[in-house]
Amino acid sequence: MATITDPEKDTVVSGNTTGLTKVVRSLDEKLLKHSHDADAAMKAFESMEGQVVELTEEKSKALLRKIDLHMMPIMCIIYGLNYLDKTTLSYASVMGLRLPPSDDKLKSGIGLVGDQYLWLGSMFYFGYIAWEYPTTRLLQVLPLGKYSAFNIIMWGIVLSCFAAVENFAGAVAVRFFLGVFEAAVTPGFALFTSQWYTKKEQGARTGIWFSFNGWAQIFGGCVAYGIAVGCRKSGTSIEPWKIVFLFTGLLTTCLGIAFLWIVPDNQLNCRWLSKEDRILAVERIRVNAQGVGNKHFKWYQLKEALLDPLSWAFFSYALIADIPNGGISNFFSQLIVGFGYTPEQSLLYGTPGGAVEVVFLIVCGWAGDKYGYRVLISMTGLCTAILGMVLIVALPLANNKGRLAGYYLTQASPTPFVALLSLISSNVAGYTKKTTVAAMYLIGYCAGNIIGPQTFRPEDAPRYVPAEITIIVCWVVCLGILTFIHCYCVWQNKKKAQIRASPEYVRLENQEWLDLTDRENPEFVYTL
């Protein structure tokens, strides 16, 4: 007796040889029927006209070094700016942004009152969530490198425009469109990672480029502190908070132009690889069983994404985990002020939190790939963050050093978020399904970040105890979701192993390039 999932109907077929024959025939028919919309890698290998492609281990390592040298530095810097551009608002909030307009350039803002600052924090994510699914579809249909570069350049221009706002309405408009253009970055980078790296390499690489959020926090805090002190001592013709927006926005625009030149759409049009190396770069990711890209929208893959429990587990985690993220990322400067430090000190004292994030992301990403348990290892970061928030809540207001140390520990919290982001690269196959799940994940991320700032009510200052308790509860629930994801992937791998072990099972040639989903491909193994 054999049990297998029918790739066309996504239902379980039970029986002996008949059931397995139906599955093999179904895959054969799919290969013939959909050869015209197979992955771009299939077309590349068809153009080889029977030439043998040999990829030695030595050549694979040399290719990996070349790919890392060209892709990782620009991705890391851009992703750091992606974080810095969002948190510039937090720096500006203690540099005069919230003050009423004044003739004194060092004490002039846009006159935020009541909960207007809360809504500025959330408005970015309204733009992000509104454009997230359309932009993931455009990432699939349009050239990946060029479309990503366009969005980077545009978000830099929009961020620079914040220096020209004079009131709350103008600030709302800029924050909304900033979210629109930044919506392409994280799903785009997840696609780049799955496109260029094997499953065993994706966790560490995702951890490295995401860790530049922490580097950006260190860099941004130092820059904001330097601008604030310099303006106070020497004076300036424009407000200090405007200089912060101009600096980060123009820097992003310049690097977006560099991104356009360096990052190709895929291996097949890469200017820094030879024609032979382009094919070998595709061959080395054959083990992923995912290909390099498919521009055809497939309704059945959309349906599968919406019915897959793993998709909703990803979405739920992003939603719940980013309620704390939305609050902390917009209020960390004010939290530190609440610990008893001055606004200028808060800019500088927030930077060690970035170092904590960098260390946890890189170490957990490396360990997850080495030992094969990305989700379980990433949970250590979340447990550390829970401990940090407990210290902030439990310690008395007078213990400013202990509460500051607690804040630093909370910066380990993104570790599981990054692990799951890497699993979207590794564990979701079928290009339409992958872009859909990435969109769901980031829609949850946006919704959580919209809710998060609303938990930090002005009347709760300076301790914000209700918000801090909410954060602890959210993170505990997230531990349960992570446990489910791990167990579900283990269960699915056991089912697929039984299918492959059956004597009737036959593997198709070039099955990896057929743009099959993870659930319909018996060869697909979920990364843990």
| pLDDT score for 40 | 64
Helix axes 185-196, 414-427, angle to 10 degrees: 50
For position 105, what pLDDT does the model report? 60
Q: Residue 330 has what pLDDT?
A: 67
Nearest residue to 469 (alpha-carbon basis) of 394, 357, 383: 394
SS3 of 265-317: CCHHHCCCCCHHHHHHHHHCCHHHCCCCCCCCCCHHHHHHHHHCHHHHHHHHH
Strand partners, 337: none
Res. 436 pLDDT band, cuts 50 70 90: very high
Query: Which of the listed ranges 5-9, 321-325, 371-375, 379-383 does the model predict with the highest average pLDDT?
Result: 379-383
Residue with tokens 């030992």: 371
State the Cα–Cα distance between residues 237 and 230, nearest whole angstrom: 12
pLDDT at residue 177, rounded to an integer: 95
- Indicate if the pLDDT at residue 291 is higher than 90: no
Mean pLDDT of 159-170: 91
In whole angstroms, give the CA distance from residue 388 to residue 367.
23
pLDDT digit string (tens) for 71-109?
999 999 999 998 887 778 877 877 778 777 766 666 667
158 or 450: which leads in pLDDT: 158
- Per the prediction, the chain carries an average pLDDT of 84
Mapped onto helix, strand or coil, the DSSP state of residue 12 is strand
CB 333 within 8 A of CB 93: yes
Q: How far apart are CA 356 and CA 213, in angstroms?
A: 11
Give the H/E segment covering residue 333.
helix 309-338
Element (H, E) at 13: strand 12-15
Average pLDDT value for residue range 315-329: 89
pLDDT of residue 452: 84
Q: Are 117 and 370 spatial neighbours (Cβ–Cβ below 8 Å)?
A: no
Would you call 237 exposed, middle or buried from its count of C-beta atoms within 10 A (0-12, 13-18, 19+)?
A: exposed
Provide DSSP, 339-404: TT--HHHHHHHTHHHHHHHHHHHHHHHHHHHHHS-HHHHHHHHHHHHHHHHHHHHHS-TT-HHHHH
Confidence of residue 329 (pLDDT cuts 50, 70, 90): confident
Question: Is the separation of the CB atoms in 161 and 174 below 8 Å?
Answer: yes
Beta-bridge partner residues of 15: 2
Write down the pTM of the prediction: 0.82
State both tokens at 191: 């696609």
Spatial separation of the C-alpha atoms in residues 156 and 84, rounded to whole Å: 11
Question: What tens digit of pLDDT does each residue of 107-151 get?
Answer: 667 888 878 887 887 888 899 999 999 999 999 899 999 999 999
Q: Is the pLDDT of residue 219 over 80?
A: yes
- What is the structure's pLDDT at 48? 61
pLDDT single digits (tens) 1-43: 333 333 333 433 333 444 445 544 555 555 445 555 666 666 6
Q: What is the DSSP string of 56-105?
A: -HHHHHHHHHHHHHHHHHHHHHHHHHHHHHHHHHHHHHTTTTTSPP-SSG
pLDDT, tens digit, 9 for 90 and up, residues 451-473: 887 888 877 777 778 888 999 99
Structure tokens at 68: 């890392």
Which segment of 195-204, 207-216, 397-406, 432-441 scores lowest on mean pLDDT?
397-406
- pLDDT (0 to 100) of residue 53: 67
- Copy the structure tokens of residue 421: 């982001």
- Give the position of tokens 């564990």: 427
Q: Amino acid identity, residue 32?
A: L
The whole-number pLDDT of residue 129 equals: 92
pLDDT band at 270 (very low <50, low <70, confident <90, very high): very high
Structural domains in the chain? 2-46 (no CATH), 63-513 (1.20.1250.20)
Tokens 């239902």 belong to residue: 11
pLDDT level of residue 512 (50, 70, 90 thresholds): confident
Rounded (10°) angle between helices 144-161 and 57-93 = 20
Give the span between the Cα atoms of 38 and 325, in whole angstroms: 39
Confidence of residue 396 (pLDDT cuts 50, 70, 90): confident
CA distances from 129 to 119, 321, 329, 428 (A): 15, 16, 18, 21
The strand pairing partners of 2, in sequence order, are 15
- Please report, for residues 158, 240, 257, 297, the alpha-carbon distance to residue 161 in angstroms, rounded to integers and kept in the order given: 5, 15, 18, 36
Say how far apart CA 78 and CA 150 lie, in whole Å. 13
The encoded tokens of residue 7 equal 């790739």
Instruction: Say how many C-beta atoms besides its own lie within 10 A of residue 411's C-beta.
Output: 28
Quick one: what percent of the chain has pLDDT higher than 70? 88
Residue 42's pLDDT is 65
Q: At what angle do helices 414-427 and 199-234 cross, to 10 degrees?
A: 140
